[in-house]
Amino acid sequence: MKYQICVSGAASGDTVEASHQLAFDLGKAIATTGKTLTTGATIGLPWYAAKGAFSITDRKGASIGFSPASSFREHVTVYRLPTVEFDYINFTGLSYVGRDIYLVRSSDAVITVGGRMGSLHEFTTALESRKVVGVLLGSGGLADYIPTLLKNIESPGVKDIIYDTNPFRLVEKVNKALDVKYATFEHDGTDDSLDHRLAHWG
């Protein structure tokens, strides 16, 4: 199935410098397995994930960005966000907080790498939305603090969170969890190719 897997992480700060290769490898792993990468269409770790996805020349999955802006012009001139590493950008017009919710709700799974407060918002939204949640340990920031945080704050779905220190292994585990979650799903037989989806999105 063409799962949509979100990579959530810091747009700036120490974890971007320390963990950009890990984020790149997450995007690469998602594209290699033919899944669709979703990000906040922003800089930092999500951008490196998008670059990783784009590094696969024969990828079958798309790279979709969810922008806080309401238009391409606002995305570039006001928010100053990248455009090249995306097959499609959804201009949500919801600013950052609303964009985060829309991004998570539009994804089948959310993987946290590094991260600051915005990533915490996406992480908690993913838990409350009962999404498949992965955490890349060793990437710093929020990702490494999550186990401690959840020991002290009750939250739904904690026992189902997937942890790993290897981005390729983590994506494999997330895909397997999604296969289990959607085991009873029946495809309607329509064309699910990248070209078809991009044409549909317009």
pLDDT in tens, 88-137: 999 999 999 999 999 999 999 999 999 999 999 999 999 999 999 999 99
Please work out, in degrees rounded to the nearest 5, the angle formed at the alpha carbon of residue 112 by the alpha carbons of 106 and 118. Answer: 75
pLDDT band at 193 (very low <50, low <70, confident <90, very high): low
Q: At 22, which CATH number? A: 3.40.50.450
How many structural domains compose the chain? 1
Give the closest residue to 133 by CA, choosing from 102, 166, 161: 161
pLDDT band at 35 (very low <50, low <70, confident <90, very high): very high
Confidence at residue 188, expressed as pLDDT on a 0 to 100 scale: 60
Could you tell me the residue range of the domain that residue 160 belongs to? Answer: 4-182
Confidence at residue 187, expressed as pLDDT on a 0 to 100 scale: 64
Q: What is the mean pLDDT of residues 60-79?
A: 96
50 neighbors 63 (Cβ within 8 angstroms):
yes
Confidence at residue 118, expressed as pLDDT on a 0 to 100 scale: 94
pLDDT band at 196 (very low <50, low <70, confident <90, very high): low
pLDDT band at 57 (very low <50, low <70, confident <90, very high): confident
The answer to the question of residue 188 being in a domain is no
73 neighbors 45 (Cβ within 8 angstroms):
no
111 neighbors 6 (Cβ within 8 angstroms):
yes
The answer to the question of residue 199 being in a domain is no
Give the closest residue to 43 by CA, choosing from 54, 35, 53, 51: 51
104 neighbors 131 (Cβ within 8 angstroms):
yes
The answer to the question of residue 196 being in a domain is no
The answer to the question of residue 92 being in a domain is yes
- Rg of the chain (C-alpha set): 16
The answer to the question of residue 202 being in a domain is no
* pLDDT, mean over the chain: 93
